[in-house]
Structure 1
């Protein structure tokens, strides 16, 4: 799976259903490229397209259970890899990482807000 596909699945998991144009902007690809990517992921059973309940003219891309399962498995694998690396750090380095966690969590929250777009 491409990095863009994996990132798109993670975005859908984190932010919920999105328009293809929104996903293209978030992932930094063209709308036609995202359309092709969504089609491939749809054929793989990772996403599905559904009408927007609030505006039937709009089609949203939804994460399927298979897509959510893939995202969870990737996150778990990443967490295990980081845990293995952290085990190799000195106590001082672990302490420095621990001290940096509030700032890192704040950065993640800011990034998430940016990807959600402006509030209505």
Structure 2
């Protein structure tokens, strides 16, 4: 397996005026790359395990039990939280900034009126 450097040399390319959009694009492309790798690995596993196609048919027909479905839902929610973490952090930062500005404006209004 080829080892790639953890960080690219040079500046990250910018495609949009808003750096947040560039970050979102990077996240989306990284996620898409992971999906492609997972699909290839799953395809390889299915071909190795069952060349006849019976396993694939069984996988397609499989219906998880309520317990398995609940576990998968928890894993899905965890994954979405992980992927969306940068967006959530930015949203929280904006809320904190708005709260500080509101507090500042209230203090100014009190000074002016009081």
Which has the greater radius of gyration? 2
TM-score scaled to structure 2, two decimals?
0.34
Bigger share in helix? 2
TM-score scaled to structure 1, two decimals?
0.33
